[in-house]
Amino acid sequence: QLQLVESGGGLVQPGGSLRLSCAASKFTFDYYAIGWFRQAPGKEREGVSCISSSDSSTYYTDSVKGRFTISRDNAKNTVYLQMNSLKPEDTAVYYCAARRFRCSGLHEQYNYWGRGTQVTVSS
């Protein structure tokens, strides 16, 4: 069973930065693609970014391209989401999720989920 734990959320002013971390428990972590999703109150869960297991290909939703960067450190079983130039519309609970090998934009295709970390962008 793969367990995921997010950290790094918080309150930040518009234009600020945060780095989210997703730490995994399983030693075969490098077999898994890791996606970041977010959900704001009253809205559907949205795919933000993903990094694949094999060649570490990365994917971003259009609204975060150029501002967010996803990376992974397989030695530490951790994926990071560096978020820069944050906007109020980035406010949400951010979740990381895992599925074998390849990324998907559909949250239904992820087998393992963390509990989420709150990101609030406000002045």
Give the pLDDT confidence score for residue 69 in this predicted structure: 98
Residue-wise pLDDT for 93-109, tens only, equals 999 999 998 999 888 99
In this predicted structure, what is the pLDDT of residue 1?
Answer: 82
Mean pLDDT of 76-84: 96
* 90 pLDDT tier (thresholds 50, 70, 90): very high
Distance CA 27, CA 65 (A): 30
Q: How many other C-beta atoms are found inside a 10 Å radius of the C-beta of residue 53?
A: 21
What pLDDT does 30 receive?
84
Rounded Cα–Cα distance for residues 61 and 42 (Å):
20
Distance set, CA 106 to CA 47, 76, 91, 116, 122 (Å): 7, 26, 20, 17, 29
